[in-house]
Structure 1
Amino acid sequence: MQPFDLELNQINYAVFPEGNETYTIYKEGKEYIQIQKDEGEQWIKFDEETGTPLFEYDEEVNQLGKLIEYYKENPEEEEGEDEL
């Protein structure tokens, strides 16, 4: 899967798939967080310094995860809008 862009609350994010449902997220051009989908519907982020999962609930991470899932199910939809 190729990197792609998302927008959440008028903020641009670049999403770089790393495999195993793990994604590196860039926020407004700067590396921001790494997230991964857990076995349920929740998404977890990793500690920047240690790389260990942080299991506390994070609304922004979950919203980004939902957008990633939507993009994966509809990858061409956003591309086609620009051509109209």
Structure 2
Amino acid sequence: MKTQKQNNDKTDLSFEEAMTRLDEIVKILDEGKLSLDDTLILYEEGINLYRCCSNLLDKTEQRITILGKNNSNEYEEFDYKELGVDKNGF
């Protein structure tokens, strides 16, 4: 079985791309039609995608926290959509 992205380097994926692929993997695994080896390959890819998504979310959260502080080092309310965050959270 060939997976869509067999390499373990998921850093070039956007959060949305990684989540889409992770969703595909979950659906395939839920069908239960794969061999044990193919299941393990997809499971490993899914874990790597999960880690990629988690890292991207952590970076985005840190960025929002930094941008949310005002000059008095107090947090102020702001619209995160106006931050201009790119696909990698920066």
Structure with greater proportional helix content: 2
TM-score range, shorter chain: 0.3 to 0.5
Which one has a bigger Cα radius of gyration?
2
Structure with greater proportional strand content: 1
Q: Which has the higher contact order (CA 8 A, sep 6+)?
A: 2
Give me the TM-score of the superposition, normalised by structure 2: 0.34
